[in-house]
Every structure is written in C-alpha cells, then in structure tokens.
Amino acid sequence: MFVTNKCQCKECQNPALSVIRDNEIIPHEPGFCFEHTEDKIGHLTSLLNYINSHEKIIGLCAYGISVNGVDLSGKKFYGCNFQHSTFSNIHSTGLKFKICTLDFSTFSDCDMLNSDIQFSSFSGSKFIHVVFTGSDLVHNNYNGITAYQCSFDDSDFYNSRFIRAILMNTSMKNCNLKKAIFYNSAREHVSFKLSNTREALIDRNKSGLIEDFSESEGEEEL
C-alpha cells in the first residue's frame, strides 16, 4: 500500500503528495498535500511524468490532483491513493487498479474500456458520462457514488458494493451482479437487461431472503 505522510502544513490532515526524484518515488519524504504545495504545476507534472514513464505504478500518493486528457492505457496501479482527485477526458484501454483508493473523486467524459479494477474503493465518487464497458470491476466499493449517463455494459461486478449509490440514466446490461450489493440505492432509468439480478443483494427482509430488482428480464426502468 501507499506510504501515508501527513502534509507538513500546520493543522492539515491531508496526506502529502508522493515526492518524485530522478523519476522515482521517494518513500517517507516529508512534503505537502496538493492544496498546500507551492509549485502545483511543477509537482503535478512530475507525478504525470512518472506515471507516463512507468507501466507499473506502486504506492503513489496523488491525493487531490486534477488530470485532464491523459491516456492511461495499459497502466497498472497498485496500492495508490487518488482520493479527492478529478479525472476529465481520460481515454484508456486495459487500465488496471488493485487495492487503490479513489474515494470522493470525480470522473467526467472518460472512456475506460476493458479495465481491470479489483479491491479498490470509489466511495462517494461521481461518474458523469463515463464508459467502463467490458471491464472486470470485482470486490470494489462503490458505496455512495453518483453515476449519471454511464455505461458499465458487459462488465463483472462480483462482490462489489453500491450501498446508497445513486444511478441515473445508466446501463448495466449483460453484467455479472453475483453478490453485488445495492441496499438503499436510488435508481432512475437504469437498465439491467440480461444481467443476473437474482444473484444480486437488493433488500434483505426479516427472514433474510433476498429480493430481486424486478420480475422481468433483469431490466429496471423507474
């Protein structure tokens, strides 16, 4: 996992950005969070150059950064921290995240086709016009997310959680929803056509039985 160094700014509880020197991450190096970094452009450039020049990125802390128009195709992130970050116009194929935290981040107008994302957290994040078609998205935390006009078609959500999520005008057609949890979620104009909704966990009544989304072909229109 990433090394958590607190921002050196007094009373700031945010994690410090990873320090890059000679194009390598320097662990345990004291520093500042993005908000309190004096040379924001310079530090962001060093982080993006590091990502661009490495196929495998391990333990990077990029808390609170903004990324626009970057191609992350084939990149593999392990144990990285992108909490409270903003991703715009990201176009990638075969992106991989494993044991990463991206809580309270914003994704807009992104194509992230055939992604492999496992054991990662997007709690409280926002997805606007994002395409994850054909992706493996298993064992992930999507609790409290908002997804608007997104496509997750042909994806695997095995054992992922959408508790208190808000899904609007979003497609989850032909998805594996086995053990996916949707408790207390709000869904408006969401299609689950050809998905195995009967194996998802929607509501649990007093007897412990699991109820289905609907009675017709796994498609829900609210």
CATH label of the domain that carries residue 138: 2.160.20.80
Say if residue 42 is in the same domain as residue 128. Answer: no
> Strands (DSSP E) along 28-144, which ranges?
56-58, 66-68, 76-78, 86-88, 91-93, 96-98, 106-113, 116-118, 126-131, 136-138
Say if residue 20 is in the same domain as residue 105. Answer: no
Provide the pLDDT for residue 116. 99
Tell me if 207 is assigned to some domain.
no
Say if residue 100 is in the same domain as residue 194. Answer: yes
Q: Is the pLDDT of residue 67 over 60?
A: yes
Say if residue 37 is in the same domain as residue 104. Answer: no
Q: What would the pLDDT profile of 134-174 be if each residue is shown by its tens digit?
A: 999 999 999 999 999 999 999 999 999 999 999 999 999 99
Q: Distance between CA atoms of 17 and 33, rounded to whole angstroms?
A: 5
Say if residue 122 is in the same domain as residue 154. Answer: yes
Do 202 and 212 contact (CB within 8 A), yes or no?
yes
Tell me if 221 is assigned to some domain.
no
Tell me if 218 is assigned to some domain.
no
Tell me if 97 is assigned to some domain.
yes
Find the largest Cα–Cα distance for the chain.
Answer: 60
Say if residue 116 is in the same domain as residue 22. Answer: no
Say if residue 118 is in the same domain as residue 135. Answer: yes
Say if residue 98 is in the same domain as residue 151. Answer: yes
Domain span at residue 2 reads: 1-55
Tell me if 47 is assigned to some domain.
yes
Say if residue 85 is in the same domain as residue 177. Answer: yes
Selected residue with higher pLDDT from 30 and 71: 71
Tell me if 28 is assigned to some domain.
yes
The domain total for the chain is 2
Average pLDDT, the chain: 91
Specify burial of residue 6 (Cβ count, 10 A radius: 0-12, 13-18, 19+).
middle
Q: Is the pLDDT of residue 212 over 50?
A: no
Tell me if 12 is assigned to some domain.
yes
Rounded average pLDDT over 54-77: 96
Tell me if 144 is assigned to some domain.
yes
Say if residue 51 is in the same domain as residue 70. Answer: no
Say if residue 30 is in the same domain as residue 118. Answer: no
Provide the pLDDT for residue 217. 41
Number of Cβ atoms within 10 Å of the Cβ of 23: 10
Place of tokens 């520093």: 31
